Every structure is written in structure tokens, then in C-alpha cells.
Amino acid sequence: MMRTLRGAVLGLIATVGLGIAGGVTEVRPAAAQIVLKPAYGEASLSGPARARGAVVWSHGRSVDSEDSEAPTPLYMKTLRDAGWDVYRLDRMRVSDTLPNSARALAGYSDMLKTRGYRRVALTGQSFGAFISLIAAGQTNAVDSVIATAPAAFGNFTEAYDSYRENAAQLWPILREVRRARVMMFFFHGDDFDPGGRAEPARSILAQRGLSSLIIDQPSLLPGHGAANTGLFVRRFGACIARFAEAPPAANDPPCDESWGRSPSAELLQAALPANASGSAKGDVDTTAALRPFMGMWYGSYINGREVALSVEKAEGDVVHADYLLGAGMEADQPFERVRRKGRIENGELVFDEKGRNMLRYRLRPDGRISATWLDRDGRGRLDTVLRRVN
């Protein structure tokens, strides 16, 4: 069955510029450069009879690079693990226009439904979100759309004269969606987002009688690419899988998972109890400066890993603490606990032992601390905010 489906995919590509039998939308004129393929290889496909459905991810579009080379976002693995056959629509820039790509995606959606998939879901980032929504207005084969940071008309910095069209052109597209339920994410600090899109989107879809979930500016997920992060998966992966499966129900768990708001059992069990009073030996100034940092602090990184710092004591100029890092999204990212030695420097708590990654912590006016992780080779940086755990 997987071979049959692959043959159908290649057959659709081969019929460039021709009418296709069976109700599949005509694909013109450069559809040979708009290709549907398994996101994780053919071996990952269960086939229409066994899979919960087929989901197609559509990447964004860049002016100076081929986004078809962009990795499939982490949250798509949630759908794969839930039993979906996961595809991606790879599009070369030369033929990647809203009409071309949406028409091709609608045709592929028809084909997947014709091949026997019970459900067809479309997911897309930025330009890919726009073509997913447009395709849902061209065929009845699409059951759901998950659109992250929808944009197709540039950003505030480089396309100020047109970027407002990312809102103005979204409304007529939503009015054309035929029957698919729609889930959309708008992110704080997204340079492509003119702002104020959530409420009009909800209103339009409600008027159409379509189920929807509009997630507007979720906390700690800033920027146009927020949906590509591990934190996005931890927070919204389960909700996306539920939405692709069926319309939202009153007894569903909250869409925004509580992950990252309180320490996991693994992290709490591994944390050493903090010494609230500290232990100074010969350096009163260090102890006084350290006192606001004492205790256990908790948060999460954008890559989807929990983080905690348990500040225990000072001995002279040396501050002792445990640094705890939760398991990551991949199998080669286990839980870690490392004993660190640092110092107070210009009001910051700094750990920069030789051969280790640097950690820097700064008190905030709201009682939390800003935390920065710096790769010892200078190739990476992670920033987050930690709060005290009682």
C-alpha cells in the first residue's frame, strides 16, 4: 500500500499541466518543483489502512535561500508518534507562489483522501501556513489546518509597505475555508505579524460555523520561528495532536500544557536542598551579595529542557551550587546534574570554570532572575528567566 501511495504521488507530479482524473485539482505549471514526500522516510509510513491520517507540513519561503532544505519542525514528531503518516511539501522558490503552491497542496490533499486516509491535516509555517489555509478553501478533503505564524507579505523591517497584508489578506482566505477546523498560533515579537489578528480570526471562523483554536502570544515563545522550538512542542504538542484528530471538546485538557511552570518529579528529586542561610567563611561582602540568590530557581529553555539552579552556600569568595538540566527532546539528551563553583561579579552570579559552559544570573526587579547559558566554545547561547521554588 505504501508503494501504491508513492506511485500516486509521483503520478501527480508527472501530470504537470494536465487535467487529472478522479477530482484531483489540476497542477500547473511548475508542479514538478512542488513535491510531496515522507517527512521521515518511507519506512515511517503505516499506509492509509493503519495510520490515523495523513498530515502534510509546508515550510516557509525565503528570498535568498531554499526553505525546502529546512528541517521538519519538532512538533511533527508528536503527530508521527500518535500514529499519523507525516509528509512534507517541498517547494522550489522559482515556482513557490501562493496560487501555485496552494493549488498543488489541494491536489495532494485530494489524492491522499482518495488513497484511503481517514483524515487529512495540513500544517504550515509562515508562507506554508498561508498556502495550507488557501488549500483548505479549494477542496473538501482537508479536515484540519494547523497554521503557525502565518505570513506571506514580508516583515516590518524589510517590507514595511506590504507587511500589513499579512492581516488584510488573511481575512478573505479564512472566509473561503470550506469545512476544515482551524488552529492558528500568533507569537509575541513576530516581525511578520501586524498584530491584532486573533480576535478577527476567531470571529470569521465562528461566523462560518467552523471549529477553531486561536493561540495568541503564548508566554515565553517569542518570534517568528517559535513553533520550531522544543518549548513549543512541550507546551502544545499534545493539543495539536488532539486537534488534528477531532474538534475540541468541553472536557479536553487545557491546550497550553503546564510543562515548564513547575519542576518535574525528576528534577525535584535530583535537586539538593538549598541552604537558606548560607555559609560564609571570611568574606562578609560575598555572603551579603549572594543572599538574594540563595535557594532553588526553576524555568525552561526554548529548546524544551527544564533548568534549575540550586544555590547552596558561599565559602570565602566561592559560591557553591547545583545546576540541573532536564532531559531533552532527543534520546541523546539525558538528565544532567553538575556541581558548579562560581562568584559574585558586579552584582551577577557567574560560573565560568575552565573547560565548562558559562552560566550567568542577574536579579530582576520582579523577584525572578535572568539566566544565560553560554557555550564554552562561543557557538551557542540560551536565555531564560527563572523563578524561586519554595
Number of domains in the chain: 2
Q: Which residues form the domain of 51? A: 34-245
- 99 and 174, same domain (yes or no): yes
Residue 217 CA to residue 173 CA, distance in Å, equals: 21
CB atoms within 10 A of CB 239: 21
By CB neighbour count within 10 A (0-12 exposed, 13-18 middle, 19+ buried), where does 123 fall?
buried
pLDDT at residue 286, as a whole number: 63
Average pLDDT over residues 247-252: 90
Answer whether residue 189 shows pLDDT above 70: yes
Q: Name the residue among 347, 341, 378 with its Cα closest to residue 364.
A: 347
Residue 10 lies in a domain: no
Q: What's 360's domain CATH number?
A: 2.40.128.120
pLDDT in tens, 337-366: 999 999 999 999 999 999 999 999 999 999
pLDDT at residue 279, as a whole number: 42
Last residue of a domain, one of 216, 245, 274: 245
- 63 and 179, same domain (yes or no): yes
Q: Helices (DSSP H) in the chain: which residue ranges?
A: 2-14, 75-81, 98-114, 127-135, 165-168, 170-176, 198-207, 230-245, 265-270, 284-290
Cell numbers that stand for 280 in this block: 560564609
pLDDT at residue 258, as a whole number: 82
Which one is predicted more confidently, 4 or 193? 193
Whole-prediction pTM:
0.85
3-state secondary structure of 255: coil
pLDDT in tens, 267-319: 887 775 544 444 444 444 567 889 999 999 999 999 999 999 999 888 888 99
Residue 264 CA to residue 269 CA, distance in Å, equals: 9
Residue 37 CA to residue 108 CA, distance in Å, equals: 11
- 95 and 222, same domain (yes or no): yes
Confidence of residue 50 (pLDDT cuts 50, 70, 90): very high
Residue 132 CA to residue 144 CA, distance in Å, equals: 10
Who contacts 363 (Cβ-Cβ below 8 Å, separation ≥6)?
A: 292, 293, 347, 369
Residue 275 lies in a domain: yes
